[in-house]
Structure 1
Amino acid sequence: MAFLKYALPALLATQAVFAADCGDGDSIKIENQSDADGYSTCKTLKGDVEVSEHYSGDLNFQSVEEIDGSLNIDGAANMTSLSAPNLESISETFQLNGLTTLASLSFGSLTTVKSIKWTALPNLQTLDFTKGVTEAGSVAITNTGLTNLDGISLKTVGTFDITENVQLKTVNVNNLKNATGLINFAGNMDTLEIELPNLVGGTNMTFRNVSSVSIPSLKELSGQLGFWGDSFQSFSAPNLTETADLVFNDNSKLNNVSMPNLKTVNGGFQIARNDKLSAIDFPSLEQVTGAIDFSGKFDKASISSLKNVKGGFNMQSTGNFSCDSFDKLHDDKVIRGTYKCKSDTANPTTKDGSSGSTTSGGKASSTSEGAAPMNVAPMPAMGLAAIFGALLAL
């Protein structure tokens, strides 16, 4: 009994020291590899791991399996590689910023993280993520040297924001089925090809300056679907039945849009400045709760199932299409808002007076060249509300 009287408190004290050595919820500071090696007996680090901006060379967390907190490395310009071969989860943010010489990122066991925020990693070309990250609340990757996103193997995600990665050639997130936040691609390599083959539902999706978008399984979006300044010739969404705002703007090579099952647009629907698009046909479209605003160089326009347009209607083209069917829809009060339909016009314009064709006159489109298209991406709902605000009046 005397032995237990003194041994038990000593054992508890030893356990307390061990727990403290693995973090107690406060920040865990890493100045050098020796600091990281000090946690070699820890499977779980409790607290935010903060790596010094003065860190130089390679950093390896050899034994850690879980970080109960964030992993933050900000401004460590001389860090060359980062690895944690046994790390399976990060409960908060995995943030890397300004690691301008980082060339290797190896997390072979990582599958779960609350959010990924990577910015300014120009020398990072590939990811060594053997198992692949399958769960993330949000992913934002900006200004890296990545050529693909292999290892980002998401099943579900909140925001998926991929911007300014000028070496990014392909993105194939084969397992992704649902996105609860914005999916946004902008300012990456002009020949970027995007494949989301099993994505069924989501909220907002915007694509800028990409050469291919494949979303064959997409059925419903609660927010917008928008394409600005893309270089693909054809776009197809064979299973899409419903979306909010729908935009095709300034896609210079686009000559075919196929959405055979689209029935409802819960917002505004704009097609403008797609000069190779000679025919517009949405055979199943029944309802647009905002406005229809089509302008360009098309010779055919057909929306044969249309039953209700709550907003305005603007259709203008240099081509010689017929307005007869739309005149009747307006007379029958199917189109309830302001109405304009003009064919064979030299200067087709959008509802707000912007040029509807890249070769026509009129004032420049607000989403035409340069930085203007980029301004819409961060504000998917708000931005399009502004674009279509004038069109929603009855």
Structure 2
Amino acid sequence: MRFPISIGISLLLAGSSFADVCDKAVNITSQSDADDISSCTTVSHITIAENVTDSIELSKLEKVTGNLTTNAANLKSFSAPKLESVGGSLEFSGTGLLTELDLSSLSSVGSFLWYKSGVKPSYSFSDSGLTSAGSVWIIQTGIRSISWLKMETIENLALVWNPGLDTVDLSTLKNFTGEITIDGEEAEISISLPKATAGASLAATNSVQSLDIDLMRNLTKLTLNSTSITDFSAPELTEMGSIELHGNDHLTNFSMPKLKTISNITYDDYDMATNFSFPVLNTIEENAVFSSNLSEARYIASTYEIYCNLIAVTTRGGDSGYSSTESITNSSNARPTTSTSSSASSSPDSRTESGESGSTSSSAGSSSSSGGLSSGAKAGIAIGVIVGALAVAGAAFFFIRRRRASEDHEGFLQGSASNDPSELSGRETAELSGRETAEVPNTQRFEAPGSNSEMSAELEQPRPRMELE
């Protein structure tokens, strides 16, 4: 009976020792350290030391509850074919010699960083792909294609400085709460988000040659920087925060047919004439800055609905012909009479060419339609016109009255001169002198009429001649 009991105790002690090994954070300096946890299916944390030069294999590992990280510059290969999930961060950073990576069962990570890793790596991911990830950063690697990102929601995604990357499949992604940044580097990449309907920030740079967001309805920010994109359209987008376009030398058409509200637009392409189409845009909440070669600013005339209000009235920093607190809205469908006037005010430096941008804006807006003015602006203009008319009428009345009073006074003096002052008595002389300064009793008084025509008619009435007694 003692023998079976001793065996049981030994097994319990072995199990306890095994559990202790698997529960602890593991630091791997060689394959022998990896062999020590070869029976573990779950480990809390794994760190592959910086000085590792071997290939590391964890053949039975299925789950890491915390982080699995390495920055071993000379690590040549890493294999964990049964690893399904990493609760924290999965990081391969600075592993410049890593050419083989086997994560063929991996489906879930808290975050995934792959940085400076391998010139031409051979890698294996699950057929079903990575279906859950908080954020993914793949930066400066030799990776050629990505088809294993199969999540529906992600926070951040960065595919940057991967010179060989020419294929990216994001066909399952529906929503991103942070930022997606895709840099084409040397290869020309076509990016498609066919199911994405909402996102925070989307940036495409360098050699990205196409970007498909056909179902996107809500986007906080869109940035296209030095891309190879020629035509861009967001047919379902109705509201967004800002658009920034810089140095897109091939961009000729930019369309958002359902966009109604935006906070900021920045277009900084001096060497390219782009046709913009925003047919239902009615509110720009802050700024619209268009910096372009004025001789090539003819794109303004190609946009029927909003160019006069969007471009002609706005300049850098929100300075415009409108109050800085007032939304700029559009209701005009007319083209400008010439593209020159619109072009001048589309430039941020239009003040140096035509004085104050506000005056340029006003003339451009009035030549197209008054529909671009708010109700407050229209009321202000109407009041100004009425006050101006009354001021002109009052000035005309005062001038005519003074002129006729002067004529009467001269006639009076001429009549007095015909009498010899020496023949007048002192009393008569005093009375005559008093009449020179007395008000003429029959002088007609004219109040400011309701219109200039009425005033002219009244002023043309014959005035009674003044005779001396």
Range into which the TM-score falls when normalised by the shorter chain: 0.7 to 0.9
Distance 1:275 1:170 in 2: 29
TM-score by length of 2: 0.63
Which secondary structure does the structure 1 equivalent of 2:88 belong to? Answer: strand
Residue 281 of structure 1 corresponds to which residue in structure 2?
Answer: 277
Q: Select 2:104's aligned residue among 92, 102, 108.
A: 108
**Alignment partner, residue 290 of structure 2:** 294
Give the equivalent residue in structure 1 for 2:418. Answer: none
Whether the 8 Å CA contact 1:219–1:241 is kept in 2: the answer is: yes
Matched, 1:129 2:125: yes
Q: Percent identity?
A: 29
Is 1:313–2:314 an aligned residue pair? yes
Aligned to 2:36: 38
**Which amino acid in 1 is paired with 2:267?**
I
Please, which runs of 5 or more residues in structure 2 have no aligned partner?
330-335, 351-469
**Contact 1:33–1:60 (8 Å) recurs in 2:** yes
Amino acid at match of 1:234: D
Quote the offset at 1:108 in angstroms: 0.7
Matching residue within 168, 173, 178 for 1:171: 168
Task: Considering Cα pairs closer than 8 Å and 6+ residues apart, tell me whether 1 or 2 has the greater RCO.
Answer: 1
For residues 68 and 345 of structure 2, the distance between their equivalents in structure 1, rounded to whole angstroms, comes to 51
1:325-366 Cα distance to aligned partner (Å, 9 max, x none): x98x99xx7539xxxx99538996977659xxxxxxxxxxxx
Partners of 1:352 and 1:122 lie apart in 2 by 46
Aligned to 1:18: 18
TM-score by length of structure 1 reads 0.74
- Aligned to 2:196, the other structure's residue is in SS state coil
Q: Check conservation: 1:231, 1:253, Cα contact below 8 A.
A: yes
Task: Show the counterpart of 2:181.
Answer: 184
Distance in structure 1 (CA, Å) of the matches to 2:309 and 2:184:
37
Shift of 1:2: 9.9
Deviations 1:104-153 (A, max 9, x none): 11111100000011111142445311331111101111110111112222
Higher strand share: 1
| Map of 1:59 onto structure 2 | 56
Q: Give the equivalent residue in structure 1 for 2:114.
A: 118
Q: What is the Cα deviation at residue 99 of structure 1?
A: 1.1
Deviations 1:286-321 (A, max 9, x none): 222111223432322536379998xx7139xxxxxx
RMSD: 3.3
CA-CA distance at 1:172 after TM superposition: 1.5
Question: SS at 2:289's partner residue?
Answer: strand
Give the whole-Å Cα distance in 2 for the aligned partners of 1:201 and 1:70: 30
* 1:311-350 to 2 correspondences below 5 Å: 313-314=314-315, 335=328, 343-344=339-340
- The residue type paired with residue 290 of structure 1 is E
For the structure 1 residues 190 and 108, does the alpha-carbon distance in structure 2 shift closer, same or farther, using more than 3 Å as the test?
Answer: closer
How many angstroms does 1:189 deviate by?
2.5
2:221 aligned partner, one-letter code: Q
The alignment covers a number of residue pairs equal to 329
Residue 84 in 1 paired to residue 80 in 2? Answer: yes
Q: In the alignment, is the contact (CA less than 8 A) between 2:283 and 2:328 conserved in 1? A: no
Q: Which residue of 1 aligns with 2:440?
A: none
Indicate conservation of the 8 Å contact 2:161/2:185, yes or no: yes
Query: More helix per residue: 1 or 2?
Result: 2
Structure showing greater Rg = 2
Q: Hey, what's the Cα distance between the residues in 2 that align with 1:307 and 1:253?
A: 25
Which of 150, 153, 156 pairs up with 1:159?
156
